[in-house]
Homo-oligomer: A and B are copies of this chain.
Amino acid sequence: MAEALPALLYLPALAGPGTQVDLDAAEAHYVARVCRARAGERLEATDGRGARATLRLVTVRGGVRVEVEAVRHEPLARPAWVLCGAPEGERADWLVEKLAELGVTRFQPVDTARGAWRRAADRRERWERLAVAALRQSRRVHRMAILEPTPLDRALAGLPAGCGRWLADADGLPVPGTTAGQGLPGVGLIGPSGGLDGGERDAALEAGFRPIRLADARLRAETAALAWAAWWASGDPSTP
């Protein structure tokens, strides 16, 4: 298929074949001005919930209108969740962007004894924008869910049985092969910049998290998160 745009369009209200949609101002600008697409050209879009649609550009005069030609749903084969303690300063924006790019499915900020997510509410809107931008740029069709910060114990208690669990830990073992129940998430747990305290670490181990060493040195919180995500992303999707 001739692909007129380098990035996917993000259309959260994407409907079935035959329907027409008027793009909002930002998407219209991207199509008509940035990419200079022309009527008749084909574009791809996602709803961020697994649908990848082929669109035909109906008009670029005035507003930009597209018609949905085909939609296929791509199942989430290898979900990845990240539970993450608070990094220092302004590093969370970058973290959100990178995790979304690396295909993390769910980003769960966790409050711990040595680190609380104080500004998560203020950053929410920006994080959602970054996650959507990363989705479009990486041409993924599953938008990263950004959850409200929650205490670590509650996050641990809420995990599905049987999912793979790893704890980023400078004293852990080298990363083993990625294994998890088919379709279940692998979960990486990363402490805040001050580290988990003893009780929290025990709770994580009790909850089945295996300490793994992502590098041969200490990593900052957001880097450990990135490293875990990168390791997970590098696994062969056919052998989860």
| Chain B, Cβ-Cβ closest to A7 | B218
Stretch of A49-57, A119-127, A150-158, A228-236 lying at the B interface:
A228-236
Which of B101, B138, B214, B220 touches A234 (beta carbons < 8 Å)? B214
Which of B138, B174, B226, B237 touches A226 (beta carbons < 8 Å)? B226
What residues on B are CB-neighbors of A223 within 8 Å?
A: 98, 101-102
Give how many A residues have a beta carbon under 8 Å from the other chain's beta carbons. 32
CB distance from A169 to the nearest CB of B (A): 13
What residues on B are CB-neighbors of A227 within 8 Å?
A: 102, 226, 230, 233-234
In this complex, the member of A103, A137, A230 whose beta carbon has the largest number of chain B beta carbons within 10 angstroms is: A230
Given known pairs A214-B233, A234-B214, the reply for A219 and B138 (CB within 8 Å) is yes
The complex is assembled from copies of this chain, and their number is 2
CB distance from A115 to the nearest CB of B (A): 15
A216 at the interface (CB under 8 A from B): yes
A15 at the interface (CB under 8 A from B): no
Which of B174, B217, B228 touches A235 (beta carbons < 8 Å)? B174
A139 at the interface (CB under 8 A from B): yes
What residues on B are CB-neighbors of A217 within 8 Å?
A: 101, 103, 138-140
Given known pairs A103-B216, A218-B139, A219-B102, the reply for A234 and B237 (CB within 8 Å) is no
What residues on B are CB-neighbors of A237 within 8 Å?
A: 174, 216
Which of B78, B103, B230 touches A231 (beta carbons < 8 Å)? B230
A180 at the interface (CB under 8 A from B): no
Over the window 100-129 of chain A, the binary record of Cβ atoms lying under 8 Å from chain B Cβ atoms (1 yes, 0 no) is 011100000000000000000000000000
A23 at the interface (CB under 8 A from B): no
Over the window 197-227 of chain A, the binary record of Cβ atoms lying under 8 Å from chain B Cβ atoms (1 yes, 0 no) is 0000000000000000111111110010011
Contact check, A137 vs B98: say whether CB atoms are below 8 A apart: no
CB distance from A226 to the nearest CB of B (A): 6
23 A-B pairs with C-beta separation under 8 A = A78-B216, A94-B94, A101-B223, A102-B215, A102-B223, A102-B227, A103-B215, A137-B218, A137-B220, A138-B220, A174-B234, A174-B237, A213-B234, A214-B233, A215-B230, A215-B234, A216-B237, A226-B227, A227-B230, A227-B234, A228-B230, A229-B230, A231-B234
Residues of A near any B CB (own CB < 8 A): 78, 94, 98, 101-103, 137-140, 174-175, 213-220, 223, 226-231, 233-237
